[in-house]
Homo-oligomer: A and B are copies of this chain.
Amino acid sequence: MSVPVRERLGEADPILESLQAALLAGDSERAKEFAARLVEEDALLLLEDLQESELSRLFDILGDESLGELLTVLHERDAADVLERMSAAQAADILEELDPDDATDIINEVDREFSDTILVAMEPEEAAELRELMAFPADSAGGIMTPAFVAISPGLRADQAVAALRRVAEEAETVYYVYVLDPEERLLGVLSLHRLVLTRPETLVSELMYRDPITVRANEDQEAAARIIVERNLLALPVVDDDGRLVGIITADDIHDVLQMEATEDIERLGGSAPLDEPYLRASPFLLFRKRIVWLLVLFMAQFVTLAVYDHYEVLLRQEVLLALFVPILIGTGGNVGSQTVTTVIRAMALGEAGPKHFFRIIRKEFVTACGLGLVMGSLMFLRGTFQGGREIGLTVGLTVLVLTIWAALVGAMLPLALSKLRVDPAVVSAPFISSFVDATGLVVYFSLAQLILHVAV
């Protein structure tokens, strides 16, 4: 069987090569062993270019379980691409092997018509489970939970509970926590497996369980769920419906992706574009264009204001052309300080460390910092300006840098805090946004100071 092992900058991956050799030899055991060790990139190298017939042979050698594991290593869109090159029966076999939440992520990306066919080909019970999960928005707690939890009733003894667990353990994603439900499936308590196993056998579950565990509702945002898991250091968080019935659990490993994605969104917004919602390499130029053009246009309009302000002072400029030379360095420095401040403040807000209630504390801190920065930068600018055009020019540009540094820091800190107070996501205030904002006001400061110091009338 020909599975292409492409080279990555000259160095082929040894595991991928060994897998290739095992596949050629038809050695199913070794092939499975190496397949389990592939990281995303190599799994993609292996799978992305395979023809239908090759995929079908791979399925025969690796089996549904091992091939399924390989798919979960991939980005769900890539995994869906692979499934679409398989028969519905094989795709169904594979999805049945996966944890329902992983299977849902993948089938959500499969072409609608084919996904219906796959669901029909699956065991009715497992298909029903997937259909339920598919009903939740992808970015809700319900969208990342798995229904494969283990539930027991409070009246069991510890040894009976362990025996019950033995029967269901195969299907459950995690049996590290065991959930205790009443007859209406409402969550009564939670119990760690080791507590259950390591206690006296005759103890009642109701005595062992931890009551009123922290839960999250299925329709809440996945980020809220992630934040609870991080703050409480949980390994799993139960998800309940509006009636308090347990419908699934979110495990700690599921939220790594949520946290990463959240940070990625913040970074992309801070850089001045809309979040891509896609791995970068997968994003088409058209997608990049769409995500970037909106903010570019908004900022462009803001810069038209700067242009108008500048235009207003044209007479001043004609008398002192020298003033124009300093414009880029002045507004540039303002922009840099604004960018430093806004990124720090927005990140602190995203981490929940700072918020509108710390308004004055933050403003005071930024003010003091900016005074220090402004004095250093302003002194340097004074020297440079004096060298270029004499004492008065030096004074003008030096003072402008001092004022702009403080102004940029205050705007960079206040704007996200104010927006958050107004319940607007503060991450819309990007670094370029603050820069553009500071540009126009900076010119007003600059030319006003110039008029004052140089005694030029407009």
Binding site for B on A (CB under 8 A): 8-9, 39-40, 72-73, 162, 165-166, 169, 175-176, 193-194, 197-198, 229-231, 233-235, 252-253, 255-257, 259-260, 263-264, 266-268, 270-273, 276, 279-281, 283-286, 288-289, 292-293, 295-297, 299-300, 303-304, 306-307, 310-311, 314, 317-318, 321-322, 324-329, 331-333, 335-337, 339-340, 342-348, 351, 353-354, 356-358, 361-362, 365-366, 368-369, 372-373, 376-377, 380, 384, 388, 430-432, 435-436, 439, 443
Kindly report which residue of chain B lies nearest to residue A385, judged by CB atoms. Answer: B307
Smallest distance from the beta carbon of A213 to chain B beta carbons, Å? Answer: 11
Kindly report which residue of chain B lies nearest to residue A264, judged by CB atoms. Answer: B347
Given the known inter-chain contacts A252-B235, A300-B333, A347-B267, please indicate yes or no for A317 contacting B328, CB distance below 8 A: no
Smallest distance from the beta carbon of A275 to chain B beta carbons, Å? Answer: 10
Q: Which residues of B contact A361 (CB under 8 A)?
A: 281
Q: Which residues of B contact A340 (CB under 8 A)?
A: 271-273, 292, 295-296, 432
Q: Which of B289, B317, B343, B435 contacts A268 (CB 8 A)?
A: B343
Given the known inter-chain contacts A9-B357, A331-B328, please indicate yes or no for A197 contacting B162, CB distance below 8 A: yes
Interface centre among A193, A362, A369 (most CB of B within 10 A): A369
Q: Are B333 and A230 in contact (CB under 8 A)?
A: no
CA distance A433 to B439 in the complex (A): 17
Kindly report which residue of chain B lies nearest to residue A175, judged by CB atoms. Answer: B194
Q: Are A348 and B279 in contact (CB under 8 A)?
A: yes
Given the known inter-chain contacts A235-B253, A299-B332, please indicate yes or no for A317 contacting B324, CB distance below 8 A: yes
Closest A-B pairs by Cβ, 4 of them? A271-B343, A280-B348, A263-B263, A324-B324
Q: Which residues of B contact A266 (CB under 8 A)?
A: 263, 267
Q: Are B325 and A271 in contact (CB under 8 A)?
A: no
CA distance A317 to B326 in the complex (A): 13
Given the known inter-chain contacts A271-B431, A344-B276, A348-B279, please indicate yes or no for A303 contacting B353, CB distance below 8 A: no
Kindly report which residue of chain B lies nearest to residue A261, judged by CB atoms. Answer: B351
Q: Which of B40, B304, B380 contacts A329 (CB 8 A)?
A: B304
Kindly report which residue of chain B lies nearest to residue A256, judged by CB atoms. Answer: B230
Interface centre among A252, A307, A332, A373 (most CB of B within 10 A): A332
Q: Which of B176, B267, B336, B365 contacts A263 (CB 8 A)?
A: B267
Q: Are B357 and A272 in contact (CB under 8 A)?
A: no
Q: Are B345 and A280 in contact (CB under 8 A)?
A: yes
Smallest distance from the beta carbon of A214 to chain B beta carbons, Å? Answer: 8
Smallest distance from the beta carbon of A366 to chain B beta carbons, Å? Answer: 8
Smallest distance from the beta carbon of A352 to chain B beta carbons, Å? Answer: 8
Given the known inter-chain contacts A193-B193, A264-B351, A333-B299, please indicate yes or no for A293 contacting B175, CB distance below 8 A: no
Smallest distance from the beta carbon of A397 to chain B beta carbons, Å? Answer: 10
Q: Which residues of B contact A322 (CB under 8 A)?
A: 314
